[in-house]
A and B are shown apart, each in its own frame.
Chain A
């Protein structure tokens, strides 16, 4: 069983929709939680990062962490066609923050 499971998708939504992307994990030692966006044939680009439980908002993006349920989410408000990409969740332990464990990604398409 994988340490990090991500909703597989693909996900297709109309422009302006609210998008919810989700990951669950099994390792209770994970303390750092990240979301990356990856365009086709490009490297991952960091979108959001959080430490431990709670919410963090940045523009149209909100990251949510629920450590009690081992569940993290990324919400995208007012989605745009330019948001079409693969979204990867990633996590790391406090004592081994150099090693990130990634989900397999969810591919999102936002239709104009």
Chain B
């Protein structure tokens, strides 16, 4: 059973370009979460999605950032017109569709995408 798959692992963009980060959840998981981690800091929640729905986007910057999780295919985090401050590790996590209580809320993380903006 493959874990949460993120690609690319490393992404280099110049200022003003677009960055697209992909996340395939674990099999049987339809809940996806994106977090951002700056150097020497913890993970900061960005967005929570279910298939075709955004459930909570309270951590998303108001501009340039968007996320989707289509019916088919991976979840995409899109950053338009990147700036140096967007350089960070972006982690995706997924949680199961079924389960009782706490088990349903456990989030499994991918290895992350490290974005570097030149």
Partner-B contacts on A (CB < 8 A): 4, 6, 32, 34, 36, 41-46, 49, 51, 88, 90, 92, 96-105
Contact = CB atoms under 8 A, between A and B. Distances in A.
Interface residues of B, number: 29
B43 interface: yes
B83 interface: no
B101 interface: yes
Contacts of B108: 46
Interface of B: 4, 31, 33, 35, 40-45, 48, 55-56, 58-59, 91, 95, 101-102, 104-112, 114
Given A98-B105, A104-B40, A105-B41, 20 more contacts: A4-B42, A34-B106, A36-B109, A41-B114, A42-B112, A43-B111, A44-B43, A44-B91, A46-B106, A46-B108, A90-B43, A92-B105, A97-B105, A99-B33, A99-B56, A101-B45, A102-B35, A102-B42, A104-B41, A105-B42
A44 to B, nearest CB: 5
Contact of A99 (B40, B41, B48): B48
Nearest to A107: B40
Contacts of A99: 33, 45, 48, 56, 58-59
Contacts of B110: 43
A49 B102 contact: yes
